[in-house]
Amino acid sequence: MPLTRKRKQRTPDAQMPVLEHLAELRRRIFICAIAIALGGIVAFTFSNQIIDFLLEYYKEATDDPKKALVFTAPADAFLTRLKVATYGGIVLALPVWLWQLWRFMTPGLHPNEKRYAVPFLVSALVLFGLGAVVAFLTLEPALHFLIAVGGDAQQPLFTSDKYLGLVSLMVVAFGLAFEFPVVLVFLLLARVITTAQLRKARRWAIVAIVTFSALITPSQDPYSLAFMAVPMYLFYEGAILIGRILKR
């Protein structure tokens, strides 16, 4: 009778071998890439409408309803649509890659903690959407500041790739920054940190949040910094409150 090799089953509490861990990471990255590509196709289809929508903020910031974006090379217009499609694909694929991120990290959690999967996904989506809304609310005063700081000797004439790249980066930056409480709560659930440590590190957290906001905001204006840093600190305090409720 030939000997058959039984496949070793991994229990929830068992550690995943390194090679299996890397294989799972590669599979989940591949799924995320496919989702982003499909989302990018959808975004590219509506890229002209998206550009028209974003152009309105430029017109309002310059008080010129006839203001238009320009491009300086034959391929720039098409490349700009591709850039918009790329960022749009990342946003549209957000539920997929957040779910894949959660599934990749949950083997380290206890079974009773894995029930937080749906709240994690919903809260992450809501917070990213909230960050995008704040980015758009910040965009007009940020543009006013950036245009006015140049003085009357300089007149704005934005190229499409620079302007749309700035707006897209702002939306992504604010969306990711607003995921801050989700990260903190996950670290509390995983017992990597405790609420006592968070309370003790408040002063350092303020410095880190302000520094992070100054570095990640692509427009580098004080409005964007304030609109990002203040909510992030409020999220920090909210994570402490949630941690105390969860007794972490």
**In contact, 87 and 168? CB cutoff 8 Å:** yes
On whether residue 12 sits in a domain, the answer given is: no
On whether residue 74 sits in a domain, the answer given is: yes
Q: Which domain holds residue 160?
A: 19-245
On whether residue 7 sits in a domain, the answer given is: no
- How many domains does the chain fold into? 1
The pLDDT profile of the chain, 248 residues, written as one tens digit per residue, is: 444 444 444 444 445 566 776 777 788 889 889 999 999 999 999 988 988 998 888 888 888 788 888 888 888 888 888 988 988 898 888 888 788 877 776 665 556 656 667 777 888 889 999 999 999 998 888 888 888 887 777 778 888 888 888 888 888 889 889 988 888 887 887 778 888 888 998 889 999 999 998 888 877 788 888 889 999 999 999 888 988 887 77
On whether residue 188 sits in a domain, the answer given is: yes
On whether residue 11 sits in a domain, the answer given is: no
* Token representation of residue 158: 């934005």
On whether residue 10 sits in a domain, the answer given is: no
On whether residue 2 sits in a domain, the answer given is: no
On whether residue 42 sits in a domain, the answer given is: yes
